[in-house]
Chains A and B, each alone.
Chain A
């Protein structure tokens, strides 16, 4: 094979089959056109040098984007990564600590935070971050590929294009009305924590005793079957919390709609938990007896305090948070201007 053939092959190697042969033939004929009648190797070198790097030429022929994520999605991609990677890291930290705790309690071992434990957490956090990064990036690369509109207008949070209204939103949102990322992340982490707590209550929640074998659970606080009989609605509540987090992430400020969504969620959730709390067999009998022993009162009174105390607290704090959310939503947009 001579130099010209190799060059042509280099250019057309990655081109689509349809165009390949045609381009190859044209290019070859062009190169021979460039050469004098009795050419030698030096002339070939000169001609090829004039045509330049075969990869550059191939790129010009293929007209395809040579990037994974272009300017249109770059900023959005970056800001989602900035949010999701710390979340993935914290999430992995909590899950691995939870699993460790679970194992330790089940096996009745002493709970100690050893170095290998921390190593696990670190490795897990890195793995999760990389997974999140790959996942988000692949999704964005696909979006970039399938986005038919070649308008080069960057996408903003909520996947919309810019218009002057966005500025109004930015500069007129009072500090209290805006939702910081930390609040969203804390909310999601709390969702994970209470979700795990609910489904594994018999293994986590209860009275512990520090005996010879380390920390040991004497009795769980709840009857797991009673708790689990409510799983569909609890799952729904977990889903609503995640939906709310995404809603907050997209909007980044309180609105009346968001406050209304929050209110419905809060009312349903408080009602659900009051119903759960008032189930006659919710608390494990042994748990009630133990506590009543400490305070020297009848188990039924202990139960009454716990049920109505918790219910009252939930209603009061739930009410306050609903009030707060509407207050934030109705804050005057213009007050900062």
Chain B
């Protein structure tokens, strides 16, 4: 049963991850700094998922990237593009609406249970 729950949760998280990543890239971040940032926000993410995801979002032109070679080792920074900002806002609204709806539905059940 735990395995089943784990696979459901992974599925639930997968779609949300993109939103979480996009939300944190208004300021430029490099891979590992983004991992740490998300972790402090309580969003755990597998690094092997995050790095390819960043590249995919870049390819879809939601992110811009640049190399910073001024520090002791070169780092690739990612930042939300203008197009990315628009897409993010739209996704954000949809997510809020849908989540609220689902929240109400699930919450309703709680109330029903309480009334027994």
Binding site for B on A (CB under 8 A): 19, 22-23, 25-27, 29-30, 32-34, 50-52, 56-57, 60-61, 63
Contact = CB atoms under 8 A, between A and B. Distances in A.
B57 to A, nearest CB: 12
A32 B71 CA distance: 13
A33 B74 CA distance: 11
- Interface of A, helix, strand, loop or mixed by DSSP: helix
Contacts of A61: 51-52, 55
Given A23-B55, A30-B32, A52 B76 contact: no
Contacts of A56: 48
Interface string B46-63: 111101100110000000
A29 B56 contact: no
Given A33-B31, A33-B32, A63-B56, A27 B48 contact: no
B51 A29 contact: no
Given A33-B31, A33-B32, A34-B32, A27 B73 contact: no
B75 interface: yes
Interface residues of B, number: 16
Contacts of A22: 76
Interface in B35-53: 46-49, 51-52
A60 B49 contact: yes
Given A50-B47, A52-B48, A29 B74 contact: yes
Contacts of B49: 60
B75 to A, nearest CB: 6
Given A23-B55, A26-B51, A30-B51, 19 more contacts: A19-B55, A26-B31, A29-B30, A29-B31, A29-B73, A29-B75, A30-B30, A30-B47, A33-B30, A33-B33, A34-B47, A50-B47, A52-B46, A57-B48, A60-B49, A61-B52, A61-B55, A63-B52, A63-B56
